[in-house]
Chains A and B, each alone.
Chain A
Amino acid sequence: MSKPMIRIHNTETDEVIDREMTAAELKQYEANQAENAIAKAEAEAKATAKAAILDRLGLTADELKTILG
């Protein structure tokens, strides 16, 4: 399976190179993706928890904004 491509633009020479990621770059890329997936999951869990609390209170998000506003 081919590795993801990256582009490098040298503004001094205006040279543009398109190439596959090196092994190190791929490792970093996958680490970033994993980190982002964790952050996304955490944010989604937080949003779900927030919605559950509002549900228990019988409030909508807009009503909560009104109270806090």
Chain B
Amino acid sequence: MATTTNYGWTTPDDTALVKDGAAAIRTLGSSVDTTTKNLNPETTLGDIAYRSSSANVKTRLGIGSTGNVLTVTGGVPVWAAPAAGGMTLLSTTTLSGASTDISSISQDYIELRVYMYNVVVNTNAVYTVKTFNGATELSSVVGWRMSNYSTPAYISGSSFRLTSDDALNQEVSGADNTNFWALTYYDYSATTNYKNYLYLGNYTNTSAAQVAWHSFGSVASNSAINKLRFATTSGAFTAGTVEIYGVK
């Protein structure tokens, strides 16, 4: 009996008898029907199909849940929830005293993003942030600092201020309560390389002018960062919030 090239469907031979035509067509039709179904196993809106381990037979993959992504498990495609990512709020701290330590910061993320806002000190002051590994201060940084109120300043050594370098306007006004800083520490948990940081901030200075400020640099230490210390050079924090986010 003759067969087709690709799917091996049985067809009548040239010498087959006409009286056997109906049966031959039924056989061919059944084969076509079976193959077509094997190649199109989807049953529901959104289903997809992939090749199975058998030739000319596909496997149905039902539509996934909302938000799922297509991934591979055991060599075949599957729908799954996307891997966790984005920002996770790790802690919220109200600033108080001459300094506030935020310790035991999780080491499970790639970056630390720190938001510090609505900070109030009972006098004009410079704010600082320092990084630690446990009780050990990571006391050396190099970088660059600039703002609309000062010429750019090279940072070297133990300089951790969150304000400009302008002589008369370096302090945050004690009356300012609309300030905001965003601090990012890259690869903060690494133990084999220094950590880069990027700081952005805005505040009202002692001339009642708005200051936009930024700084970038490197914490010169191989030790992981797991504690931050926020401090004021004068007075004490009477308000202010620090949110720490882990970023993956």
Q: Which residue of B lies closest to A21 (CB)?
A: B98
Residue B148 lies at the interface, judged by CB distance under 8 Å to chain A: no
Q: Is the CB of A12 within 8 A of B104?
A: yes
A16 to B104: give the CA distance in the assembly, Å.
12
Residues of A within 8 A of B (CB-CB), count: 23
A7 to B96: give the CA distance in the assembly, Å.
6
Q: Which of A21-50 contact B (CB under 8 A)?
A: 21, 29, 32-33, 36, 40, 43-44, 46-47
Given contacts A11-B91, A11-B102, A12-B104, contact A5 B126 (CB under 8 A): no
Residue B11 lies at the interface, judged by CB distance under 8 Å to chain A: no
Residue A66 lies at the interface, judged by CB distance under 8 Å to chain B: no
Q: Which residue of A lies closest to B235 (CB)?
A: A4
Q: Is the CB of A33 within 8 A of B234?
A: yes
- B101 interface neighbour in A9, A12, A36, A40, Cβ under 8 Å: A9
Residue B49 lies at the interface, judged by CB distance under 8 Å to chain A: no
What A residues does B90 contact at CB under 8 A? Answer: 11
| Number of A-B pairs, beta carbon distance below 8 Å | 71
Q: Which residue of A lies closest to B242 (CB)?
A: A9
A13 to B15: give the CA distance in the assembly, Å.
88
Surface stretch bound by A, among B21-29, B37-45, B62-70, B166-174: B166-174
What B residues does A5 contact at CB under 8 A? Answer: 96-98, 236
- A10 interface neighbour in B104, B165, B234, Cβ under 8 Å: B104
What A residues does B99 contact at CB under 8 A? Answer: 6-7, 29
What A residues does B106 contact at CB under 8 A? Answer: 11-12
A32 to B232: give the CA distance in the assembly, Å.
10
A43 to B94: give the CA distance in the assembly, Å.
32
Give the shortest distance, in Å, between A35 (CB) and chain B (any CB): 8
Other A-B pairs beyond A32-B128, A40-B167, 16, CB < 8 Å: A4-B98, A4-B236, A5-B98, A6-B99, A7-B97, A8-B101, A9-B91, A9-B103, A11-B91, A11-B102, A11-B103, A12-B104, A14-B91, A18-B97, A29-B231, A40-B170
A-B contact pairs, 12 of them (CB 8 A): A5-B97, A6-B99, A8-B100, A9-B91, A9-B93, A10-B103, A11-B90, A11-B244, A32-B128, A32-B231, A40-B167, A46-B167
Using a CB–CB cutoff of 8 Å, the interface residues on chain A facing chain B are 4-14, 16, 18, 21, 29, 32-33, 36, 40, 43-44, 46-47
